[in-house]
């Protein structure tokens, strides 16, 4: 399925094709904070607030259910990256408590904040690409007749 981009350009392909939804492309667009379907519209209207719909392709985002998963994933990612480094520094150099509080805490906080939006975008895009929750082929409103 070919989707026209802004100003009539046809140089990009939608993540949604007749064969299905491209998971990898959708998740990458979500990480970048873009619409998982068209890649042009913004996914977020505020730092962690998902917009109601895409401004380009009008995809409805209200069905997403990211809940606490992005926060849990950020904890796992930051923990698996920083804990080995911190343990290595502790064992080899035994820094002071002031160093620990002055360096480890800010790095952990900044890394967590920096990862929250990309991880939440990836979770919403993954839900869209797997047709989860309100992103299925036939939303519940279509069955009511």
Q: How confident is the model at residue 11 (pLDDT cuts 50, 70, 90)?
A: very low
Nearest to 60 by CA among 48, 52, 69, 49: 52
> Measured between alpha carbons, how far is 111 from 81 in angstroms, rounded to an integer?
10
Tell which wins on pLDDT, 141 or 88: 88
pLDDT at 84 over 90: yes
Tell which wins on pLDDT, 130 or 18: 130
pLDDT at 113 over 70: yes
CA 121 centroid distance within chain: 2
> Measured between alpha carbons, how far is 42 from 49 in angstroms, rounded to an integer?
11
Could you tell me how many helices (H) and strands (E) the chain has, helices first? 5, 2
> Measured between alpha carbons, how far is 52 from 49 in angstroms, rounded to an integer?
9
pLDDT at 70 over 90: yes
> Measured between alpha carbons, how far is 134 from 115 in angstroms, rounded to an integer?
25
> Measured between alpha carbons, how far is 95 from 144 in angstroms, rounded to an integer?
65
Helix, strand, coil fractions of the chain, as percent rounded to 5: 55, 10, 40
pTM of the model: 0.81
- Percentage of the chain with pLDDT > 90? 71
pLDDT for 63: 85
Residue 35 contacts residue 54 (beta carbons within 8 Å): yes
């Amino acid at each position: 399925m070919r989707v026209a981009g802004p100003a009539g350009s046809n140089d990009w392909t939608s993540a949604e094709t007749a064969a299905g939804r491209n998971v990898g492309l959708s998740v990458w667009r979500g990480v970048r904070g873009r619409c998982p379907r068209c890649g042009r519209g913004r996914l977020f209207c505020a730092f962690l607030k998902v917009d109601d719909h895409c401004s380009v392709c009008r995809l409805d985002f209200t069905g997403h259910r990211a809940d606490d998963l992005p926060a849990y994933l950020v904890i796992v990612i930051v923990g698996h990256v920083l804990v080995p480094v911190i343990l290595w520094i502790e064992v080899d150099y035994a820094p002071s408590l002031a160093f620990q509080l002055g360096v480890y805490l800010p790095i952990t906080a900044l890394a967590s904040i920096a990862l929250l939006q990309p991880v939440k975008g990836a979770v919403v895009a993954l839900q869209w690409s797997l047709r989860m929750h309100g992103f299925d082929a036939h939303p519940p409103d279509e069955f009511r007749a």
